[in-house]
Amino acid sequence: MKKSVSFLFLIWSIFIFSQVSENYNIDGVSRKAIIYEPSIKSDKVPVVFVFHGHGGNADFASRRINIQDYYKDAVVIFMEGLPGRKVPGIDPNGTMNGWQIFTDDLEGRDIKFFDKVLTEIHKSYTIDDTRIYLVGHSNGARFVNVLWKERGNKITAICSASAQGGNMISGAIPVSVWMYMGENDRIVSFASQENSVPIVKANLGITTEGKIDNDKTIFQGKNKTELVLQQSSSGHEFPKQSLQEITDFFKRHSK
């Protein structure tokens, strides 16, 4: 009986998530990340970085964008922003957590944070460097596009929800992209996000019509990249209902 109980406990422990909170020193400033270890073990581990919107935090994002419940063999890292980004009408004094929105602002503090965490996790896991993925919502999505522009050689695919890269990402190397845009977004206008689509297509070398699948249009790009363009009548929220599809999108892409 004891052996049976021990065996069941072992099986249960394999599939329960191990969550740790880590702090990293970046130029004398403490930066926080919440890390979910894989609940399913594999020889090489994919990595998903998640970036919350302006005013958010890593803990809230881990519940709202809970991709760890879908991509169970990946290390999922919820990064936390810092105050300093002023947003007219929302955070005019820059007292809320946020991310840099250009490649050269805020002294590159958030790019350095990403670099540090990516380096450090290699010391704890056997990372599959062909499977590094980014997810961002709102201000976090804009920062994901900053990383695409600046660290595209290290990234396999991104999900950018409710904010896009605009002219900043022009010339970024081809990676697979999931773009989500709400037609009734009152924070980042649908029109401004839509203007990013031709830039993404140019980066991926897309010249043909896409295939329509419900609320998504799917395009094939060069170097086996893919663009999934998802539109809905919703507002500025993250498309939580699509997390399984976003996970499947990540899984079908490696460098």
Domains of the chain by residue range: 29-251
pLDDT tens digits for range 116-172: 999 999 999 999 999 999 999 999 999 999 999 999 999 999 999 999 999 999 999
H or E element that contains 94: none
Position 178 scores a pLDDT of: 98
**Rounded to two decimals, what is the model's pTM?**
0.92
Q: For residues 161 and 137, is the Cβ–Cβ distance under 8 A?
A: yes
Q: Return the CATH fold of 29-251.
A: Rossmann fold (3.40.50)
Pair 167, 81: CB distance under 8 Å:
no
First to last CA, the chain: 48
Does position 2 have pLDDT exceeding 80, yes or no?
no
Residue 17: pLDDT band (50, 70, 90) is low
Over residues 72-98, the mean pLDDT reads 96
